[in-house]
Structure formats: C-alpha cells, structure tokens
Structure 1
Amino acid sequence: MAYLSSTEPIVVDDWLRNIGRELATAGCNDAEKVKFAAHQLDGPAAAWWENYTTTYPLESVTWTQFQQAFRTAHVLAGAMSLKKKEFRSLRQGGRTVSQYVDEFSKLARFAPEDVATNATKQEKFLEGLNDELGVQLTVVTFANYQELVDKATILEGKH
C-alpha cells in the first residue's frame, strides 16, 4: 500500500484512513503506526518525510501529528476548500438514492462541521434530495440518518 503522491484530496485521505484502519486492527501503538506509514511512502512523499524528520525527530512524532502533517503537505488548502464547497452544493440530480448516498458519504469528510450531529446530517441529506423525494420525507421524523436513507431508498423504488 505504498503512497507516492496525488493532487486529489480524497486519495490522500483514503490512504491515511486505510492505513490507519489496518494499523489499528494490528494493534499498533503510535510509534509503530508512524514507522509503518513512513515506510509506505515513496517518491515525492518519501522526500517530504525525510525533510520532515530533519525538523521533527521520528521518535517524537505521534500518529495524529503524522496525519496532520501529511494532509497539510499533500493536500492543498484550496483543494480542501473546493471539496467542502462541492459537498455543500451536492444535489441528487440524476443519481439514484444509493449513488447520492455514496457521494454524500465520500464528500462529507471535507465538511465535518456540516454533519456533526445526526440532525444536521439528516438536514443536509434532505436538502440535496430531489424535490419529489425530499418533500415526502421532510414531513416525517427519523430516529437517525440511516433510517432516513432507508426510507428514501424504499420511496425511490416505489416511483
């Protein structure tokens, strides 16, 4: 699972998430996570790490620091801002509910403050649904986001 470089913020974030999950499953501590992840870097990313460790000794870098520094170095702030705007303007359009859910989930990580609670997540999801489904679902209260998604999928199937 080597990482070279990418200009796409989702690729960077996906790599960090995937490697983080694997390392957590393996029961690694912070130091082991940092060492393993650093070993997976190649090309421009490896050069970044070499430069980073001249300023911050490897032994002092926590997993959280590694993740933050990695994102800062490999994802332009403008790209993150564009992804946040993309999420905030996301609409179902010609997508199925399932496709809309996938895109919603993929982009929500760039605007965590917009989906910080169950209520705000439901509100944002409803806002982007096509009017036909959105109108029918706004009159109902759902216990959680997943219940809303399930009902939207069922309604879509009946249309």
Structure 2
Amino acid sequence: MGQGNGNAPPHAIDKRGEFLKGHPPIFKHSADPLQADDWLHAIERQLEIAQCDDKEKYLYASGQLQGATLDWWDSFHFGRTEANPIAWAEFRSAFCTHHVPVGLMKLKEFLALKQGSMTIAKYRDKFIQLSRYAPTELVDKALVIENKCRQMEDKKRTF
C-alpha cells in the first residue's frame, strides 16, 4: 500500500562517510596559527566535497579535534548559553578567535616575507598563501612600494 506513493522520506546519504573518505586532518594544538588556519581550510574543503549542511559541518569538524583543542571545544560548547544549535559560522568564528588571532596573522610571516633563495614560483606561492592574512590595504601598499622600487631601479639603469 505505502510503496510507490511518493510520500516516503528520501533516503539519507551518509555524508560522514563521504567526509572521512577525504582523510580530513586531525587538529590537536599548535602554537603556529598558520597550522590552525590550514587545518580549517582543509576541513572546509572536505565539508564542501561531502556537501554537508550547517549542522553536519560543525559536528564533523569538531569530531576532528583532539587533545588541548578538544578540551577548548568542550569548554566552549559547555559554556555556550544560546538555545539555538551551533551554526558553522559560529564554530568557525570561535575556532579562529581562539586559534588564529587576527592581529598575529596580520604581522606573522607576511611582513617578514623575503624571496631569499626561493624560486620566483615558490615565492609567489608563499606570497599568495600568506596574503590571505594581510589586510587588502597592506597588500596594495606593498604592491605600490614594489612598483616604485622597480621604477627607481629602471631610472638607475638609464643613468
């Protein structure tokens, strides 16, 4: 009787299995905010591939926490006073606030980046990786300064 009537709920897809297929990294703790941010980006990539909804995102991501970071998460989760379920944006924001402080990221490696013995391709890749932490106006100023330096070098060569 009830078969084929179109009223049956759709078959649930095991998104956790799909998420884990990509071997998402575990995060325990790191003093380096770049590692925390890299973990978050890797997790977000796997969550998107698995097409997770908001609730699944925070559940699966928090399932990849261990050690001191899991202790932080348990404390955050326990101390939360809102009745609403945790949204991905809230998890992401709390994680970044605690593990990837904005002020530190702005100043970290980006400001100290030098080509040194790196190839241009490696330097470019490192610049792109670190530029996500720099405010746009800082990148714009760096580009203007670089352009002025090139112009000065060109003038020196003509003399």
Q: Same fold (TM over 0.5)?
A: yes
Q: Distance in 1 between matches of 2:84 and 2:44?
A: 18
Q: Distance in 2 between matches of 1:70 and 1:76?
A: 10
Matched, 1:27 2:56: no
Unaligned runs of 5+ in 2: 1-24, 155-159
Q: Distance in 2 between matches of 1:71 and 1:17?
A: 11
TM-score (norm 2): 0.66
Unaligned runs of 5+ in 1: 139-159
Give the one of 104, 112, 125 matched to 1:102: 125
Whether the 8 Å contact between 2:106 and 2:135 is mirrored in structure 1 is no
**Number of residue equivalences:** 127
Aligned residue number for residue 111 of structure 1: 134
Between the aligned residues of both structures, percent identity stands at: 35
TM-score (norm 1): 0.66
Give the one of 40, 59, 62 matched to 1:38: 62
Residue-by-residue CA offset, 1:57-82 (whole Å, 9 max, x unaligned): 69622111111100111234553243
Cα shift at 1:44: 0.5
| Cα distance, 1:14–1:90 mapped onto 2, change above 3 Å | same
The structure with the largest helix share of the pair is 1
Cα shift at 1:100: 1.3
Whether the 8 Å contact between 2:54 and 2:88 is mirrored in structure 1 is yes
Q: Distance in 2 between matches of 1:95 and 1:125?
A: 19
Aligned residue number for residue 42 of structure 2: 18
Cα shift at 1:9: 1.1
TM alignment of 1:72-151, pairs within 5 A: 72-76=97-101, 79-83=104-108, 86-114=109-137, 120=140, 124-125=142-143, 127-128=145-146, 134-135=150-151
Report which of the two structures shows the higher radius of gyration computed on alpha carbons: 2
Whether the 8 Å contact between 2:106 and 2:134 is mirrored in structure 1 is no
